[in-house]
Amino acid sequence: MLRHDFEKGTSVARSFGPGANVSEAVFVPRAADAEESDGWLMLLVHSSDTDTSALHILNADDVTAEPQAVIHLPQRVPAGFHGNWVPDPA
């Protein structure tokens, strides 16, 4: 996974290990008025070595740090799966 900072002209790479395939990351802001990188990145990671999937939640400010959480899923999520994240109207 790559995180580009177009203002600074820098990129940061994060590897999820051999055999890992990652989905596109979804940004979740910490608050409605949060700065651009103040929140989390959520992405699905499929391991072809174990044929398992997990949802990784990363700090958007530091994608190379340990994940905030890793949720191991009970079955593999197919490549190309897209999810929609919508706010709870309550």
Indicate the domain borders of the chain: 2-72
CA–CA separation, 18 and 50 (whole Å): 11
Q: What is the pLDDT of residues 64-85, one digit of tens each?
A: 999 999 999 988 887 766 666 6
What pTM does this model have?
A: 0.83
Distance CA 22, CA 35 (A): 25
Distance, in Å, from the CA atom of 7 to the CA atom of 37, rounded to the nearest integer, reads 13
Instruction: Provide the terminal-to-terminal Cα distance of the chain, rounded to the nearest Å.
Output: 34
SS3 category, 35: coil
Which one-letter amino acid corresponds to residue 58?
Answer: L
Confidence (pLDDT) at 83: 62
25-65 residue pLDDT tens: 989 999 999 988 899 999 999 998 899 999 999 999 999 99
The pLDDT mean for the chain works out to 89
How far is C-alpha 90 from the chain's CA centre?
Answer: 26
